[in-house]
């Protein structure tokens, strides 16, 4: 999905004229003509008498090179970072998402890599659990897609086999709790900067934590009734 999005964004790199026309459609007061329609030549002097003639970009080329291309290239660069991050995640947990279709031998490399990364959470016995779990899966033949890790997690709970496959259960929990982005943490820091301002610099940790929770869970807070609270403390 991200790769297709990157292809779409990349295809827009040479479509700056389209966006210029759209800007004119949105606001008729914005002129599509640039003040500098002619390229200006700049002579740059260097030590030793070597002069180099530089051509300054015209208005339309300046927008294309210094604005439009920069935005598109930055967007594609950020998408590449996310694609690489997801690729690493998929490789680390490949044995979970492909266990229902791949043999345990084919997934051995992925399992060993997972053990080396999460050696403090799981042990080597997960290899034997996977062999057993594969047989258990093939025997019961669940109707849902085995690549859906959340459904596999819920299915294990329903079958009451968590104690039989503890390491696989831990691996599923790790996979399901890995944050897909740091947006939540960034929002929390932004809210903290608003809450702990110069007028609240002497806030205690408990009060600050309470205000942070109220601000972060604002959507839940709006649906609460404070009538009972007012009756108790009023």
Question: What is the per-residue pLDDT across 133-156, written as a single tens digit (0 to 9) for each?
Answer: 988 988 888 888 888 889 999 999
Summarize the confidence of residues 191-196 as an average pLDDT: 79
Same domain, 76 and 134: no
Angle between helices 108-117 and 69-92 (to 10 degrees): 100
> 64 Cβ partners below 8 Å, 6+ apart?
16
pLDDT at 171: 92
Note if the pTM is more than 0.85.
no
Same domain, 138 and 84: no
Q: Is the pLDDT of residue 202 over 90?
A: no
Q: Is residue 213 part of a domain?
A: no
Same domain, 70 and 117: no
Q: Is residue 212 part of a domain?
A: no
Same domain, 115 and 85: no
* 3-state per-residue secondary structure call for the chain: CHHHHHHHHHHCCCCHHHHHHHHHHHCCCCCCCCCCCCCCEEEEECCCCCEEEEECCCHHHHHHHHHHHHHHHHHHHHHHHHHHHHHHHHHHCHHHHCCCCCCCCCCHHHHHHHHHHCCCCCCCCHHHHHHHHHHHHHHHCCCCCCCCHHHHHHHHHHHCCCCCCHHHHHHHHHHHHCCCCCHHHHHHHHHHHHHCCHHHCCCCHHHHHHHHHHHHCHHHHCCCCCHHHHHHHC
> 196 Cβ partners below 8 Å, 6+ apart?
203, 208
User: Is there a contact between 170 and 122 (Cβ–Cβ < 8 Å)?
Assistant: yes
Same domain, 85 and 145: no
Read off the pLDDT of residues 159-191 as tens digits, 9 standing for 90 and up. 999 999 999 999 999 988 887 666 666 777 777
Q: Is residue 84 part of a domain?
A: yes
Same domain, 87 and 156: no
Q: Is residue 189 part of a domain?
A: no
Same domain, 120 and 104: yes
Structural domain that includes position 87: 1-31+57-91
pLDDT at 211: 83
What are φ and ψ of residue 45, in 5° steps? Answer: -95, 135
Distances in Å between the alpha carbon of 128 and those of 95, 137, 165?
Answer: 13, 14, 9
Read off the pLDDT of residues 77-134 as tens digits, 9 standing for 90 and up. 888 888 888 888 888 888 888 877 777 777 888 888 889 989 899 988 998 998 899 8
Q: Is residue 18 part of a domain?
A: yes
Same domain, 70 and 111: no
Q: Is the pLDDT of residue 42 over 70?
A: no
Q: Is the pLDDT of residue 53 over 60?
A: no
What are φ and ψ of residue 188, in 5° steps? Answer: -65, -40
Same domain, 135 and 110: yes
pLDDT at 181: 66
pLDDT at 141: 86
Number of folded domains in the chain? 2
């Amino acid at each position: 999905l991200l790769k297709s999005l990157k292809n779409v964004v990349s295809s827009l790199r040479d479509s700056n004229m389209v966006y210029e026309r759209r800007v004119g459609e949105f606001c008729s007061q914005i002129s599509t003509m640039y003040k500098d329609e002619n390229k200006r030549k700049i002579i740059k002097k260097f030590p030793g008498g070597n002069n180099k003639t530089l051509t300054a970009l015209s208005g339309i080329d300046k927008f294309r090179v210094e604005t439009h291309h920069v935005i598109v290239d930055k967007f594609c660069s950020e998408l590449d970072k996310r694609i690489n991050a997801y690729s690493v995640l998929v490789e680390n947990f490949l044995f979970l998402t492909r266990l229902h279709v791949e043999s345990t031998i084919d997934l051995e490399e992925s399992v060993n890599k997972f053990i080396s990364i999460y050696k403090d959470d799981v042990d080597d016995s997960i290899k034997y659990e996977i062999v057993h779990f594969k047989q258990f899966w093939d025997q019961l033949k669940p109707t849902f897609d085995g690549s859906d890790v959340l459904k596999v997690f819920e299915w294990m709970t329903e079958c009451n086999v968590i104690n039989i496959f503890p390491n696989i259960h831990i691996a599923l929990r790790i996979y399901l709790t890995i944050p897909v982005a740091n947006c939540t943490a960034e929002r929390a820091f932004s809210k903290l900067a608003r809450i702990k301002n110069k007028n609240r610099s002497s806030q205690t940790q408990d009060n600050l934590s309470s205000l942070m929770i109220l601000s972060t869970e604002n959507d839940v807070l709006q649906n609460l009734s404070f009538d009972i609270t007012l009756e108790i403390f009023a």
